Amino acid sequence: MRRPARSQVRFAVCIKNSGYEASLEIGKLYRMIPDQEAERHGYLRIVDESGEDYGYSADRFFTIDVPKPLERALLKAAS
């Protein structure tokens, strides 16, 4: 029996924070929460400095793929 596929954890680096200086830091890596509806409208759901997830315009971020060992380390550090 196959296990269901785990949703891929994704990360993005903030490249523009104008208007959101208290919530986003330029150059910082943020965890993305999968949200296809938001992405269809040009937004990414990002866990920001408050620790909560909010929708931000996708042009504020550069999405990246990280190797599994780094992903595990980042998720452990965030918990």
Q: Which residues contact 10 (CB under 8 A, 6 or more apart)?
A: 31, 32, 34, 63, 65
Tell me, yes or no, whether 2 lies in a domain. no
In the chain, how many domains are there? 1
Tell me, yes or no, whether 3 lies in a domain. no
The H or E element containing residue 56 is strand 53-57
What pLDDT score was predicted for residue 18?
Answer: 96
Tell me, yes or no, whether 1 lies in a domain. no
Instruction: Indicate whether this model's pTM tops 0.75.
Output: yes
Domain span including residue 65 = 10-78
Residue 37 pLDDT exceeds 80: yes
Dihedral sign (CA 20, 22, 25, 29):
negative
What pLDDT score was predicted for residue 75?
Answer: 81
Q: Any idea what the Cα angle at residue 75 is, between residues 36 and 16, rounded to 5°?
A: 60
72 pLDDT tier (thresholds 50, 70, 90): confident
Looking at residue 49, which CATH number applies to its domain? 2.30.30
